[in-house]
Amino acid sequence: MKELRGGVCAPRGFRAGGVRCGIKGSSKKRDLALICSDRPCVAAGLFTTNQVKAASVLVTREHLAGGTCRAVIANSGNANACTGEAGIAAARRMAALAADFLGIQAEEVAVASTGVIGVPLPIGVIEAGMASLGASLRADGEGHEAALEAVMTTDTRKKDGALEISIGGVPVRMGGMVKGSGMIHPNMATMLGFITTDAVIRQDILDRALRRAVARSFNRVTVDRDTSTNDTILILANGAAGNTPIDTEGEAGEAFAAALEELCVKLARAMARDGEGASRLITVIVTGTADEETAAVLARSVAASSLVKAACFGADANWGRVLCALGYAGVPFDPAGVDVRFESSAGSVPVCRGGRALPFSEEEAKRVLSEEEIRIRVDLRPAGGGSPGPGSASAWGCDLSYDYVKINGDYRT
């Protein structure tokens, strides 16, 4: 596996671009993006589970129903949600505008929006900006960067990646971008993710690979109930690599799925790190459960806890908050069989064994927790003896650097 530059333009046959068309009013920021393939693609997508769905989500689900899609048009500055029939018409119009420019069918275009809810999408400015959007398309990293900038809202960093693997000796590439910050609380912002690949792959294999990768990446930074009206993740596979078709979940399928998972984990970690005001990336690792999903639920509960996050901001080894967050996660475990340690590149400090305090050096713990990347490791076992379960999972979050951590970050000392 080799890291590449160029994001969604790293795979062959993809172009991207982004412009300012005026959705964000007087702001000078880009607000309209286009990503497209020079040939048809198989595609898969995952969407918000919120009952209130943006018009873009409804239209894109419809367009993706056949498992194909070769372009994505996306805007920031307006969510096109709670906008009724006019919103649906506007989303369809966006797809049609892109399709007309590219000379393809509107049904081959996905639409994504992020921004304020309940305000009519100014389709006129998008229409007026279409020519310059088309002109901005490039097959290199600059095109990717422009598209990425055009979907960012409160994001403070660009979050992207690309990599190459070998499928039967043929190099296959994939690249992606993700928009969404404020992961300090997981419902702070819409998440949009666009991934491209030049793999030749059957649609159902692609779909399953995406579901698995998302379950182990983006769903590990987001508590399920906290999805916005617009959350969307898409993957487009255009087959330009010319590899032997991936049409089973055998060796090639597994290699593809593992690479996609690695890319998604990279993007998910970048989202967690980009929490508004965040100063640390927190990885929570839970082991010893009956299965992976149980471990994931526990890890997410710790990563989502405001109290744990506030303690991390203060570099305060307040492990009691970790136990508290495990305790309300809603899955059974034995409180008397919990070991907790804080880790980072500065060291590893066991703080709790069997659900009870261990003596530790506050100074050493502070040093470990003062790093930019820290890990909270939770190992579970039956308190009465016996082997720990085989389940394990990681979840990602960031610290809370708000004013109120002045109150809570030092609560323990």
Where on the chain is the footprint of its own copies (CB under 8 A)?
49-53, 79, 81-84, 116-120, 154, 182, 184-185, 187-188, 225-229, 276-277, 301, 305-307, 318-321, 323-330, 332-333, 335-336, 352, 355-357, 401-404, 407-408, 411-412
Nearer to its own copies, 185 or 208 (CB): 185
Single out the residue of 276, 325, 331 nearest to residue 303, CA to CA: 325
For residue 139, the minimal CB distance to its own copies (Å) is: 34
d(CA 199, CA 244): 9
Tell me, what DSSP letter sits at residue 74? E
Nearest Cα to 134, choosing from 177, 96, 175, 97? 97
Strand partners, 68: 42
DSSP assignment letter at 3: E
- List of E strands, 108-208: 109-114, 159-167, 170-179, 192-197
CA atoms within 13 A on the CB side of 291: 3
- Closest approach of Cβ 315 to its own copies, in Å? 16
Q: What is the 3-class SS of 315-342, one letter each residue?
A: CCCCCHHHHHHHHCCCCCCCHHHEEEEE
Q: CA 198 to CA 245: how far, in whole Å? A: 11
Q: Which of 4/324 has CB closer to its own copies?
A: 324
CA distance linking residue 36 with residue 11, whole number of Å:
11
The contacts of residue 370 (CB under 8 Å, 6+ apart) are: 315, 346
- Residues 295 and 287: beta-carbon distance below 8 Å: yes
Nearest distance, CB of residue 13 and its own copies, angstroms: 37
| 3-state DSSP assignment of residue 255 | helix
Tokens standing for residue 377: 């490791």
131 vs 407, which CB is nearer to its own copies? 407
Decide if 60 is catalytic: no
- E strand or H helix at 34: strand 32-37
Report, in Å, the least distance between residue 155 CB and its own copies.
11
- Backbone dihedral angles phi then psi of residue 352, each to the nearest 5 degrees: -150, 130
Complex with its own copies: residue 190 or 217, whichever CB lies closer: 190
To its own copies, the closest distance from the beta carbon of 334 in angstroms equals 9
Catalytic position from the list 190, 222, 283, 287: 190
Q: Which is nearer to its own copies, 306 or 370 (CB)?
A: 306
CB-nearer residue toward its own copies: 214 or 380 = 380
Shortest approach of its own copies to residue 115 CB, angstroms?
Answer: 9
Distance in Å, CB of 387 to its own copies, minimum: 21
Residue 349, class by beta-carbon neighbours within 10 Å (0-12 exposed, 13-18 middle, 19+ buried)?
buried
DSSP state of 132: H
Rounded to a whole number of angstroms, the minimum distance from the CB of residue 161 to its own copies is 25
For residues 20 and 31, the answer to whether their CB atoms sit within 8 Å is yes
Nearer to its own copies, 277 or 389 (CB): 277
Compare residues 154 and 248 and give the one whose CB is closer to its own copies.
154
The total of other beta-carbon atoms located within 10 Å of residue 242's CB is: 14
Contact 71, 36 (CB under 8 A): yes
List the one residue out of 64, 90, 101 whose CA is nearest residue 203: 64
Smallest CA-to-CA distance from 163 within 8, 344, 317 is with 8
Residues tagged active-site: 190
